[in-house]
Copies of this chain bind each other. A is one copy, B any other.
Amino acid sequence: MTTSTTSRELAHPDLSDVELPTVLFALSDAARLDLVRELAAQGPLTVAECQSADPTVPKSTFSHHLKTLREAGLIRNEPAGRQRTVTLRKDELDERFPGLLDAVLAT
């Protein structure tokens, strides 16, 4: 049973290392912006739940968007059994970029 499950942990940048243009670029895509809005409204979701918003987009495309958002420090993507949980890093973002997320979500 090897407790070192080497679970599929993905890399999440420290927000102090994330530059503003990177964040803005990640949010400059309609699909990604919609996802961030949904996460802000619905709280943590599994990847499948996120994707159910627009079932027409292929999994690989969706996964690519998740990667972009994750590498920009916007979301956390963590293993949860057979699935994965996606979380908006709201508190950290508010500290690093005060008012930005609220302004984006308000529109």
Number of interface residues of A (CB under 8 A): 21
Is the C-beta of A29 less than 8 angstroms from some C-beta in chain B? yes
Q: Tell me which of B25, B96, B99, B106 contacts A25 (CB under 8 A).
A: B25
Nearest residue in B to A27 (C-beta to C-beta)?
A: B24
Q: Which of A19, A98, A107 has the most CB of B within 10 A?
A: A107
Interface positions, chain A 39-90, Cβ under 8 Å from B, are none
Could you jot down 13 A-B contacts, CB within 8 Å? A21-B30, A22-B28, A24-B25, A24-B27, A24-B104, A25-B28, A28-B28, A97-B103, A97-B107, A98-B107, A99-B99, A100-B103, A103-B103
Q: A20-B104, A21-B29, A24-B104 are in contact. List 4 more A-B contacts (CB 8 A).
A: A21-B28, A22-B28, A24-B24, A97-B107
